[in-house]
Amino acid sequence: MSSARSEAPVRRVLLKLSGEALGGQDGAGLAPAAVSDLCRELKAFVDAGGELGIVVGGGNLLRGATLAQAGLPRVSADHMGMLATVMNGIAMASMLAQTGAQTALFASVAIPGIAPGYSRTDALSALADGKVCFFTGGTGNPLFTTDTAACLRAIEIDADLVLKATKVDGVYTADPKKDPSATRYEALTYQQVLDQGLAVMDQAAICLCQEHDMPLVVFDMSERGALEGIIGGAAVGTRIS
Ligand code: UDP
């Protein structure tokens, strides 16, 4: 299949990074080398004229559902999961700042001395100032995921699209690592993703994008220059709209 092409010029994006992108080989823990590689790509995107909001997950450190299965009350486990996303955001924002990029770190709930509480007005003004905005702490509510937080913030900041970084270059008919005959979709509708139960993002996130007409592109950020190329209208991944 040929690659998806953006339909309109892209300038402001909301990038969703899973926590495992910040982890070591197995996606666990925090690997500064992995964070540094990500920051190089983020800096290139900003230098190419892009405006960037980032929602980072926490799965490299912990996931609420997993802790709940092990016996912790779910809501408390989710509170811990949200704090894990703040830790990832601190790591990314501080390492990105070392590259010379300007950054702004927000948390869904203010953590005085560490991160101010999210405010749409402050986020829009930081983006207009060329700052890369990290929206941490998820939605601020348990029982949600950072996928939903990403789509929510994308709609709030009037992003051109949500970019979901994954380990493969789009959405496939089957897991390409297990099934060599799997083919990549160039484009999908929200409804196809929902009806076919395709593992793109959780259903709440897809529904939010569908309701607010927010396009979503699933792509492989480990491909050097893939993120930056999106500014120039390069063909990447699978587009869902
Ligand atoms: N979380 C939450 N509410 C949110 C976002 C996240 O409770 O709005 C918690 C939840 O426990 C989740 C964890 O934070 O498992 C880490 O987020 P997520 O699983 O989305 O991270 P990712 O899989 O993207 O690394």
Top-confidence residue, 117 or 9: 117
Which residue's entry shows tokens 């709209």? 241
144-198 residue pLDDT tens: 999 999 999 999 999 999 999 998 999 999 988 899 999 999 999 999 999 999 9
What pLDDT score was predicted for residue 227? 94
Give the binding-site residues of ligand 1, using a 6 Å CB cut-off. 18-20, 57-59, 63-65, 77-78, 81-82, 84-85, 138-139, 141-142, 144-147, 149
Task: Give one DSSP letter per residue of 105-147, joined into a string.
Answer: EEESS-BTTTBPBP-HHHHHHHHHTTPEEEEESTTSSTT--HH
Phi, psi of 161 (to 5 degrees): -165, 165
What pLDDT score was predicted for residue 156? 98
From 34, 32, 20, select the one nearest 62 (Cα to Cα): 20
What pLDDT score was predicted for residue 190? 98
39-91 residue pLDDT tens: 999 999 999 999 999 999 999 999 999 999 999 999 999 999 999 999 999 99
Determine the Cα–Cα distance for residues 28 and 72; give it in Å rounded to an integer: 20
Burial label for 200, CB within 10 Å (0-12, 13-18, 19+), is buried
2 has a pLDDT exceeding 90? no
- pLDDT above 70 as % of the chain: 97
What pLDDT score was predicted for residue 7? 62
What pLDDT score was predicted for residue 177? 86
Residue 66 CB partners (closer than 8 Å, separation 6+): 77
R_g (Cα) of the chain, nearest Å: 17
pTM (two decimals): 0.95
How large is the average pLDDT for residues 123-137? 98
**Encoded amino acid at 39, one letter:** C
What pLDDT score was predicted for residue 235? 81
24 has a pLDDT exceeding 80? yes
Determine the Cα–Cα distance for residues 192 and 170; give it in Å rounded to an integer: 15
Considering only CA atoms, which residue is closest to atom 6 of ligand 1? 145
Sign of the alpha-carbon torsion through 142, 55, 230, 10: positive
What pLDDT score was predicted for residue 9? 84
**Contact yes or no for 208/155 (Cβ under 8 A):** yes
173-184 residue pLDDT tens: 998 889 999 999
197-225 residue pLDDT tens: 998 999 999 999 999 999 999 999 988 99
What pLDDT score was predicted for residue 4? 44
Whole-number Å distance, alpha carbon 107 to ligand 1 midpoint, is 13
Write down how long the chain is.
241
Considering only CA atoms, which residue is closest to atom 18 of ligand 1? 57
What pLDDT score was predicted for residue 5? 44
Token representation of residue 51: 């405006």
Task: Give one DSSP letter per residue of 23-67, joined into a string.
Answer: S-TTS-S--HHHHHHHHHHHHHHHHTT-EEEEEE--TTT--HHHH
How large is the average pLDDT for residues 135-151? 98
